[in-house]
Amino acid sequence: MSMFNTEANETVNEPVNKPSPKPQRIPSQIRLGIWGFPGAGKSVYMLRLSQELSDQGRLVPTDEITAKYIYEGTKLLEKGEFVNPTGTGKYSKYSYTIENSDNRNIELTFFDLPGEVFTDPENYFSSENNREVNVVDYLLECHGILF
């Protein structure tokens, strides 16, 4: 059945899921997947997001690796330079906490994967806890995907 009634140019009334009467609670830990081909700007996006949240005084890196990456990457961007692309066969996990005014803090975790990983959906890499996972499974486990 087509979504449009081509004769009358009207949409077909099909049942839709009703919204939940209660808003769902936002989880305190959120994993976002960033998908993109080599050179698409995945690393730059993560840095710009962290920079925006830092400027608002709401971002706290959860570990030294993340703090160093944000600091060094932001300095490069401020000079008009880009961070180096994530090398083939390498990846990093960056995690930071967003402090909200209602004291419900959210921890965001990103895996910075090289774009080459996304050219083969069966490509495997070691994720959290050194668990082997392929790209499709990794993205399916994320709360959201940016691409």
Residue 13 lies in a domain: no
Residue 126 lies in a domain: yes
Residue 33 lies in a domain: yes
- The model's pTM is 0.63
15 Cβ contact list (under 8 Å, min separation 6): none
Convert the pLDDT of each residue in 53-90 to its tens digit. 887 778 888 889 889 988 999 999 999 998 887 766 66
Number of domains comprising the chain: 1
Residue 8 lies in a domain: no
62 Cβ contact list (under 8 Å, min separation 6): 95, 96, 97, 107
Q: Which domain holds residue 69?
A: 29-146
Overall size of the chain counted in residues = 147
